[in-house]
Amino acid sequence: MALNLEKQIWKDKAKGEVNPLAFSELAQKLAHRISEEGGGPRGRKNKSTQLRKYYDAIFNLNQRAKSQIDETKWNAILAQLHRQLALVHYSKGRDLVTDSFVSMMDELIKAVNTWKDLQVITDFLEAFMAYYKECRPRN
């Protein structure tokens, strides 16, 4: 299921122009959708602690990218970012996350080509997680 997040997050990716509404309206819409697909506030899929692990890993990679911007280290960071996608699919295989969460992460990770893209994706996931906690205050 294609969400077309790249087109919704960036107004013009080549120019680095971000859609400011992506961090409010889009993040909120996705948080509610993914929460409901996981069973709502008491659902057993898409638990906030599970999703938070992926956000934390991407946040840490972004911190490393900001402090180590050179081609060799960027390639290592990019490899670790794509490794997160494999871990998301592993969680899907264990029936811990839904297809929508997998699609979101797949599109976000594959949209990253530069450290600036990684910063935008990290900021988007931060907004998503904030709205998600509103949907799932207890798990």
The bridge status of strand 17-18 relative to strand 10-12 is: antiparallel
pLDDT tens digits, one per residue of 28-86 = 999 999 999 998 888 889 999 999 999 999 999 999 998 877 777 889 999 999 999 99
Query: Can you give the pLDDT at residue 138?
Result: 75
Query: Can you give the pLDDT at residue 129?
Result: 97
* pLDDT greater at residue 44 or residue 138: 44
pLDDT tens digits, one per residue of 91-136 = 999 999 999 999 999 999 999 999 999 999 999 999 999 999 999 8
Query: Can you give the pLDDT at residue 40?
Result: 83
Any long-range contacts for 32-40 (C-beta under 8 Å, 24+ apart)? 32/131, 32/135, 33/100, 34/98, 34/100, 34/101, 34/104, 34/132, 35/132, 35/135, 35/136, 36/135, 37/98, 37/99, 37/100, 37/101, 38/97, 38/98, 38/101, 40/135
Q: How confident is the model at residue 139 (pLDDT cuts 50, 70, 90)?
A: low
